[in-house]
Amino acid sequence: MNHNSQDALVEVRNFSLRYGRKTALDDVSFDIPKGRVVGLLGHNGAGKTSLMKALVGLQSGQGALRVLGMNPQADRVALLDQVSYIPDVAVLPRWARVHELVTLMSGLQPRFSAERARTLIRRTSVELGDKVKALSKGMVTQLHLALVASIDTRLMILDEPTLGLDVLSRKAFYEMLIDEWCDGERSVLISTHQVEEIEQLLSDVLMLDQGRLVLNLSLADVEQRYVALAHAPELADAVAAAHPLLRYRIHGRSAALFDGAPPQHLAQLGERLRPSLVDLFVALTRKPEQAPHGA
Ligand SMILES: Nc1ncnc2c1ncn2[C@@H]1O[C@H](COP(=O)(O)OP(=O)(O)OP(=O)(O)O)[C@@H](O)[C@H]1O
């Protein structure tokens, strides 16, 4: 995602963030242009939440951040009005009824459209007369998305929004996000551990590994750059000698993942496949001691 910074909604340059002696983000740089759906992937503790908090000015660090042309630390109040942010521990007031939340938001948020919120809530299984405390976890998440998507902003930041939801609720959440939010102008940055589910939605991917950005690529470029090669088991030694990033199995077949084209003699003997984001994630973020001793 190295685009003309003029239309970047987010610009991060050499950004590091420490908690005491613990480095949570280490010299991270990337842009998010408009119209993107960017997945932020990383193991537990990789720095995803720290990065998202920094982008909305809730955490400070060293380096340069610009979000919607603003400095998140200096312009935090103005920025929080213009970014739709759902933190990982999002809570809605339990005592309220849904229509009361809509009224409350209208009073608090100048860019909030109550009419749009009611329309979006009608898409969910939540009723306007329901009490928040009577809703299931999945319903609360849908409601939260409906409320946040009714704020007219250009950037949505979602920190593990579907944590704890079943597969149908997750699907409903993502459908609403794509249908109601992504219009080619707005962008969304979304962190998740459910890599397989979100892969089809993403235009770009950022991978963090222990605070370092190990991948920043569009999905189209991922496909160009990385090659998965399914091969006969007899070729295992020859494949290992070519130093793939990962040796694993695809649909029960031996396979290897290469950064760039595999050597010609191997490419001819194997079948080139599209690597999945999960496989790439594993390859780029595993610790050396986790490397298998044979595929
Ligand atoms: N308030 C804090 N004080 C000290 N260390 C912290 C604090 N918040 C996070 N950390 C540390 O910073 C690192 C990054 O944490 P962060 O929450 O950003 O990771 P994450 O990728 O969001 O993880 P998860 O997927 O588990 O939510 C971790 O090592 C964590 O222990």
> What pLDDT does 1 receive?
53
Whether the CB of 48 sits within 6 Å of ligand 1: yes
* pLDDT tens string 166-175: 888 888 889 8
> What pLDDT does 251 receive?
84
With CA atoms as reference, report the closest residue to 52 among 277, 166, 208: 208
* Ligand 1 centroid – CA 179 distance (Å): 32
What is the average pLDDT score of the chain? Answer: 89
The most confident of 7-21, 80-94, 280-294, by mean pLDDT? 7-21
Whether the CB of 93 sits within 6 Å of ligand 1: no
Mutate to test the pocket of ligand 1, among 17, 50, 209 (most ligand atoms within 8 A of CB): 50
Question: Alpha helices, DSSP H only, in 56-97?
Answer: 76-82
pLDDT bin (cut points 50, 70, 90) of residue 119 is very high
Question: Alpha helices, DSSP H only, in the chain?
Answer: 48-55, 76-82, 98-108, 114-122, 137-148, 167-180, 195-198, 219-225, 236-241, 264-269, 277-285
Residue nearest atom 1 of ligand 1, based on CA coordinates: 19
pLDDT bin (cut points 50, 70, 90) of residue 288 is low
* pLDDT tens string 212-267: 999 999 999 998 999 999 999 999 999 999 999 999 988 889 999 999 988 888 88
> What pLDDT does 295 receive?
39
Whether the CB of 59 sits within 6 Å of ligand 1: no
Query: In the predicted model, what is the mean pLDDT of residues 95-113?
Result: 91
Domain boundary assignment for the chain? 5-210, 224-290
> What pLDDT does 87 receive?
76
pLDDT bin (cut points 50, 70, 90) of residue 156 is very high
Q: What is the ipTM of this complex?
A: 0.97
Structure tokens at 66: 């610009």
* pLDDT tens string 29-80: 999 999 999 999 999 999 999 999 999 999 999 999 999 999 999 999 889 8
Query: In the predicted model, what is the mean pLDDT of residues 78-100?
Result: 84
Mutate to test the pocket of ligand 1, among 17, 18, 22, 208 (most ligand atoms within 8 A of CB): 22
pLDDT bin (cut points 50, 70, 90) of residue 294 is very low
Exposed/middle/buried for residue 190 (C-beta within 10 Å: 0-12, 13-18, 19+):
buried
Mutate to test the pocket of ligand 1, among 49, 56, 60 (most ligand atoms within 8 A of CB): 49
Exposed/middle/buried for residue 104 (C-beta within 10 Å: 0-12, 13-18, 19+):
middle
The Cα–Cα gap between 284 and 160 comes to 21
Query: Could you give the maximum distance between any two Cα atoms of the chain, in Å?
Result: 68
Which string of b and e fits 215-254 if b means at least 16 CB within 10 Å? bbbebeebeeebbbbbbeeebeeebeeeebbbbbebeeeb
* CATH architecture entry for 5-210: 3-Layer(aba) Sandwich (3.40)
> What pLDDT does 254 receive?
92
Whether the CB of 169 sits within 6 Å of ligand 1: no
Instruction: Give the position, in ligand 1's atom list, of the atom nearest the Cα of 52.
Output: 18
Residue 85 has pLDDT above 90, yes or no: no
Q: How far is CA 201 from CA 35, 36, 175, 196, 225, in A?
A: 12, 10, 9, 10, 20
* pLDDT tens string 107-117: 888 889 999 99
Share of the chain above pLDDT 70, in %: 94
Residue 292 has pLDDT above 60, yes or no: no
> What pLDDT does 40 receive?
97
